[in-house]
Structure 1
Amino acid sequence: MRSAASNQYHLTTLWRLGAPVETVWDVITRPERWPDWWAGAESVVSIEDGDADGIGARQQYIWKGRLPYRLHFISCVTRVERHRLLEAEVVGEVEGIGRWHFVCQDGITTLRYEWLVRTNPLWMNVLAPLARPVFRWNHNALMRAGGIGLARHLGAPLHRHESQSA
């Protein structure tokens, strides 16, 4: 993906949580439960379970941020390295890759989420040259809510939240 196209996004979020990587992994790898703790995750429905490692698992997502629109897409898990990496391809109103990186050091689990996608709705692509910063802000607000919700769900401190975009 070329970052110059107004409908392509490379967004990165970093969460540092005072919880063991195994516990964080168990929660992140159960996306159907995300709406229980992640404000903005309106619906996650399992379509297919995938293999014993989760590869091939498919879910249908509906996300609602602070802006007055919802994004619908389907993800398919394509890569799993237990307690290290979880990657999925997404298709629908956004297309691309979502990738969770897990690192644990001194009892702190660092999660880095990369979202390398392009938007498909015509209205988003028409508005993107001007609205791109607002779309990024909306994504960052959703991710901030996720970090706060995950920390609360785990009963663990959120030591850091950071979002970047390219």
Structure 2
Amino acid sequence: MRTNEYYLPTEWRVKGSIREIYEICSDFYDYQRWWPEVYLNIRKERIDEETGNQVYALLTRGKLPYKLRWNSCKTSEDAPRSVSLKASGDLAGRGTWSFEQDGEYVKIRFDWYVNAEKPVLKYLSWLMKPIFRSNHYWAMGKGLDSLERELERRRAAALNQG
């Protein structure tokens, strides 16, 4: 494994239905609204020739004082069980969200196989890998908090309509 290669698995357990959580996590364009601490800007870029899916240009951040510019595109979907993506730019690789209903909870897993290509990350990975990993897990912690808030918001809106 090269020093700038990372495997970053994340597991969450969230109260809800697999369908509602899949709906949120599979809509990459909406991340900026519900996960704003990490996803600073998302815009539609182009259609990917290989997959025929939308490519999104992302500006993201973690706890550390740098930003990442990268593109994301869905590569496959098996609603509501999984959605996979590819990444290019400052982060290059692939990731898969997996969802499994477990009673009133959903087990959520994100497997992220990514290379840090932003020059400062790429060339300092040999030294800073634990800090860069910690930065990723901080961002994912914000994602869990944001997902739970988004579920509450959606449920409250549904109650107000009913």
Contact kept, 8 Å, 2:58 with 2:71, in 1: the verdict is: yes
Per-residue CA deviations over 1:79-103 (Å, capped at 9, x if unaligned) read 1111111001111011110110111
Deviates more, 1:76-85 or 1:33-42: 33-42
> What is the root-mean-square deviation in Å for CA atoms of aligned residues?
1.8
Contact kept, 8 Å, 1:55 with 1:77, in 2: the verdict is: no
Instruction: Name the SS for the 1:114 alignment partner.
Output: strand
Which of 93, 114, 134 pairs up with 1:96? 93
Q: Structure 1 regions of 5+ residues with no counterpart?
A: 157-166
Pair member with larger Rg:
2
Q: Structure 2 regions of 5+ residues with no counterpart?
A: 154-162
- The one-letter amino acid of 1:132's match is K
The number of residues matched between the two structures is: 150
Which structure has more helix as a fraction of its residues?
A: 2
1:161 corresponds in structure 2 to none
Q: Does 1:113 align with 2:110?
A: yes
Whole-angstrom CA distance in 2 between matches of 1:20 and 1:55: 29
- The one-letter amino acid of 2:69's match is H
Contact kept, 8 Å, 2:89 with 2:118, in 1: the verdict is: no
Per-residue CA deviations over 1:93-128 (Å, capped at 9, x if unaligned) read 111101101111212111100110111122212211
**Percent identity of the aligned residues?**
25
- The one-letter amino acid of 1:145's match is K
Q: TM-score, normalised by structure 1?
A: 0.84
Moved over 4 A (4+): none
| CA shift for structure 1 position 49 | 6.7
- The one-letter amino acid of 1:103's match is E
- The one-letter amino acid of 1:108's match is Y
| CA distance 1:14–1:122, shift in 2 (3 Å) | same
2:126 corresponds in structure 1 to 129
- The one-letter amino acid of 1:15's match is W
Contact kept, 8 Å, 2:68 with 2:118, in 1: the verdict is: no
Per-residue CA deviations over 1:34-86 (Å, capped at 9, x if unaligned) read 12221211112123478xxx962211111111111111111121111111110
Which of 52, 64, 69 pairs up with 2:66? 69
Q: Does 1:12 align with 2:13?
A: no
Contact kept, 8 Å, 2:38 with 2:62, in 1: the verdict is: yes
Per-residue CA deviations over 1:4-33 (Å, capped at 9, x if unaligned) read x21000001111110101101111122222
